[in-house]
Chain A
Amino acid sequence: MKTTLAPALIIFLAVGGLVVLHSAYIVNETEQVVITQFGEPVGPPVREAGLHWKTPFIQQVNTLDKRILEWDGYPSEIPTKDKKFIWVDVTARWRIADPLKFLQTMRHETNAQSRLDDILDGVTRDHITRYEAPEIVRNSNRILEVEVKEEDISAEETFEKVSVGRNTITRQILEQARKIVADYGIELVDLRIKRLNYIESVQRRVYERMISERKRAAEKLRSEGQAIRAEIDGQKERELKRITSEAYRKAQELKGKADAEATGIYAAAYSKDPEFYRFLTTLESYREGLKDSRLLLSTESDYLTYLKSIKERKLT
């Protein structure tokens, strides 16, 4: 009797196990589940993690991700309002907010990704074309307040005032896309412009502009250097003239004073007896002045008086 019981028991256990296995299901923290019965959703979606039960065999578990998921767009070439072509690369984060709706409209995540491609690319394009390039690049007017360095010359157009700014534009894209994707049970968590660049031909022109700006700056620096140099040279010349002329003036003044003093001294002394001075100086000058010359002396002169006669003579 026991021998016939054992196989029956095993079969019973196996069937029971199978039923339990098909009625219990585990929902991970990262997942959410929609129960469908012959393809038709039954009951509210299960978002709570843990062990759950369903009717075995006829109900099916459809697991969807509950986490924040990524979406990364293609870089796309979009013209701005000022007819500049730029590459815009947008990235977004989304989650399945309404699993039921998602399952009905999208079925799979891959489906959703390509639908997001269409929607987000389109909305992005719509908004980007509505603005001028600086509005998309800049977020605020901060750089207008930046003190511009002397050699930092940029084209005027680059300093246009920004009235909207990048954050607001991305916010607008996000808001509009959000409304659209809500129909698919998708919540758009965030959307941002990841990369932004000019297309190649524009880029080349930007490079050319940058190069010419730099060249201009370099030229300006050089000529500034020369100007300062000339200024210093001028200062040097002026200083030299000032120094030498001042020295000359002072020297002349000193000499003049000395001459005046000397003249005064001579005058004071010689005016005591001008005749004697004349006599002395004249005789003195004979010593120097008569050297190597020819002298005709009359025998009548004082010197030769005694040559002709030794008569005593009265001094005159």
Chain B
Amino acid sequence: MDLNLPPGFPARNVPNFQPFIGPLVLLIFVLVTLSTAFYQVEPDEMGVVQRFGRYVRSTPPGLRMKAPLGIETSLNVKVTHVFKEEFGFRTIQPGVRTFYEGRDGNPLLFSRSTGGERRQRRNVWSSEGNPFLDESLMLTGDLNTAVVEWIVQYRVKDPVQFAFRIRNIGETIRNMSEAVMRLVVGDHTLNEVLTSGREEIRKRVEKELQEVLDSYGVGVEILNVVLQDVNPPDEVKPSFNEVNEARQEKEKSINQAWEEYNRVVPKAKGEAEKTIREAEGYALDRVNRAKGDADKFLLVWEAYRQAPEVTRQRIYLETLRGVLPELKEKIFIDESQKGIVPLLHLNEKRETASQS
């Protein structure tokens, strides 16, 4: 409807704005219409459009049009972005070097805004050392306690479900991650949690958390559950280290024993070999000498048999000739003068000789 007043209305002292009011209103109307008719969806987003509050369509990235003036509203959901929740610690400043909070008692520099803080929660276990110990302290199946730190990465699978099915999805993922993690850890021994069972626990949490979220129909896909530091509680850590040390010690003493074994036994083997070789040498020596002596004897005997008398004489005399000069004292006694023998003072003389 034309709201313009007819022209020709007499203008006196006051300048006549009336002709401009109509076009101005129209202009504003057009501008508002245009500005609300377009919306932009960023590359990592998906546009969700509602007409009078009712979901009508989803749109891919780009500049899009919708019905203006609040008839249709759009909501951008980050669909390719990977969201991360941390349990038992918080990354304060991701970057070249990642600073962690909660591990060394750094002050709280990062606060999450979770809508679920409807009341002050009482921290039962968090000590001054780690303000997030409440999240990570849990009971294992053998009723021991472990400190498990982990992260959950997730992505929006269905932007429509994500936008409309649940309020405060982040807190839900946090709560359910904790519940599922404790359920799974409760079915493992402390030893498994600390060592061999990590991968299995990780996979089971991933699977069960996805099942829980699927049962809510909230359009979230769990990409990854990653176990970070898994430790016994600080109070018992030293004794765990002691076990490790004892294990090292055990290995060490076994190694030392083998080292000693390997040092001594081959040496003994060598010595044994030496003994045997020496015995062999002795045997050769003995036999060869025997053969030599025998041969020599036989040869001499052969020759002797040719002229026994002379040879006997010769050998006898040659021997005596050799022996006599070597004697210290030679006393010749006539058979007929045997009586002088007692006068020789054999012992006495020997003593004086040795004394001089």
Q: Which residues of A contact B (CB under 8 A)?
A: 2-3, 6, 9, 26-31, 48-51, 65-70, 72, 74-75, 87, 89, 91, 93, 110, 113, 133-134, 137-140, 142-143, 146, 148-149, 151-152, 154-155, 157-159, 166-167, 189-190, 192-198, 203, 206-207, 210-211, 214-215, 217-219, 221-222, 224-226, 228-229, 232-233, 235-236, 239-240, 243-244, 246-248, 250-255, 257-259, 261-263, 265-266, 268-270, 272-273, 276-277, 279-280, 283-284, 286-287, 290-300, 302-304, 307-308, 315
Beta-carbon contacts of B212-251 to A below 8 Å, as 1s and 0s? 1001101000000000000011011001101101110111
Q: Contact at B239–A190, with CB atoms within 8 Å?
A: no
Q: Contact at B182–A251, with CB atoms within 8 Å?
A: no
Task: List the A side residues contacting B215 at CB < 8 Å.
Answer: 190
**Smallest beta-carbon distance A254→chain B, Å:** 4
Q: How far is the CA of A222 from the CA of B247 in the complex (A)?
A: 7
Task: List the A side residues contacting B254 at CB < 8 Å.
Answer: 225, 228-229, 232
Can you identify 10 A-B contacts, CB atoms within 8 angstroms?
A50-B53, A137-B141, A217-B246, A236-B260, A236-B261, A244-B271, A247-B273, A251-B276, A255-B283, A273-B301
Q: Contact at A143–B188, with CB atoms within 8 Å?
A: yes
Q: Which of B187, B191, B235, B287 is close to A149, meaning CB atoms less than 8 Å apart?
A: B191
Asked if B253 CB lies within 8 Å of chain A CBs, one says yes
Which residue from chain B places its CB closest to the CB of A308 in the assembled complex? B334
**Smallest beta-carbon distance A36→chain B, Å:** 20
Q: Contact at A72–B249, with CB atoms within 8 Å?
A: no
Task: List the A side residues contacting B283 at CB < 8 Å.
Answer: 254-255, 257-258, 261
Q: How far is the CA of A66 from the CA of B251 in the complex (A)?
A: 64
Additional 20 contacts, C-beta under 8 A, given A72-B116, A225-B249: A27-B54, A29-B53, A70-B116, A137-B140, A139-B186, A143-B192, A154-B189, A154-B190, A197-B139, A211-B236, A225-B246, A228-B253, A240-B265, A247-B271, A265-B290, A291-B326, A291-B327, A292-B326, A296-B332, A296-B341
Q: Contact at A250–B233, with CB atoms within 8 Å?
A: no
Task: List the A side residues contacting B188 at CB < 8 Å.
Answer: 142-143, 146
Q: Contact at B287–A261, with CB atoms within 8 Å?
A: yes
Q: Contact at B186–A166, with CB atoms within 8 Å?
A: yes
Interface-facing stretch out of B33-41, B77-85, B291-299:
B291-299
Task: List the B side residues contacting A203 at CB < 8 Å.
Answer: 145
Interface-facing stretch out of B57-65, B92-100, B103-111, B313-321:
B313-321
Asked if B69 CB lies within 8 Å of chain A CBs, one says no
Q: Contact at B239–A214, with CB atoms within 8 Å?
A: yes
Q: Which of B139, B178, B312, B326 is close to A194, meaning CB atoms less than 8 Å apart?
A: B178
Q: Contact at B290–A198, with CB atoms within 8 Å?
A: no
Q: Contact at B333–A299, with CB atoms within 8 Å?
A: yes
Task: List the B side residues contacting A224 at CB < 8 Å.
Answer: 250
Q: Contact at B216–A137, with CB atoms within 8 Å?
A: no
Q: Which residues of B contact A (CB under 8 A)?
A: 1, 3, 5-6, 50-55, 116, 118, 121-122, 124-125, 134, 137-145, 163-168, 171-172, 175-176, 178-180, 182-183, 186-192, 212, 215-216, 218, 232-233, 235-236, 239-240, 242-243, 245-247, 249-254, 256-258, 260-261, 264-265, 268-269, 271-273, 275-276, 278-280, 282-287, 289-291, 293-295, 297-298, 300-301, 304-305, 309, 312-313, 315-317, 319-320, 322-324, 326-335, 341, 346
With contact pairs A196-B138, A247-B271 given, residues A215 and B326 touching in the complex (Cβ less than 8 Å): no
Task: List the B side residues contacting A239 at CB < 8 Å.
Answer: 261, 265, 268
**Smallest beta-carbon distance B223→chain A, Å:** 22
Q: Contact at A29–B328, with CB atoms within 8 Å?
A: no
Task: List the B side residues contacting A283 at CB < 8 Å.
Answer: 315-316, 319
Q: Contact at B165–A269, with CB atoms within 8 Å?
A: no
Task: List the B side residues contacting A155 at CB < 8 Å.
Answer: 143
Q: How far is the CA of A214 from the CA of B317 in the complex (A)?
A: 96
Nearest 9 pairs between A and B by C-beta? A258-B283, A225-B250, A247-B272, A251-B279, A262-B290, A269-B294, A214-B239, A218-B246, A50-B54
Task: List the B side residues contacting A26 at CB < 8 Å.
Answer: 52-53
Q: Contact at B250–A280, with CB atoms within 8 Å?
A: no
Q: How far is the CA of A254 from the CA of B278 in the complex (A)?
A: 10
With contact pairs A91-B179, A140-B187 given, residues A49 and B216 touching in the complex (Cβ less than 8 Å): no
With contact pairs A197-B139, A244-B268, A293-B328 given, residues A151 and B276 touching in the complex (Cβ less than 8 Å): no
Q: Contact at B330–A286, with CB atoms within 8 Å?
A: no
**Smallest beta-carbon distance A149→chain B, Å:** 6
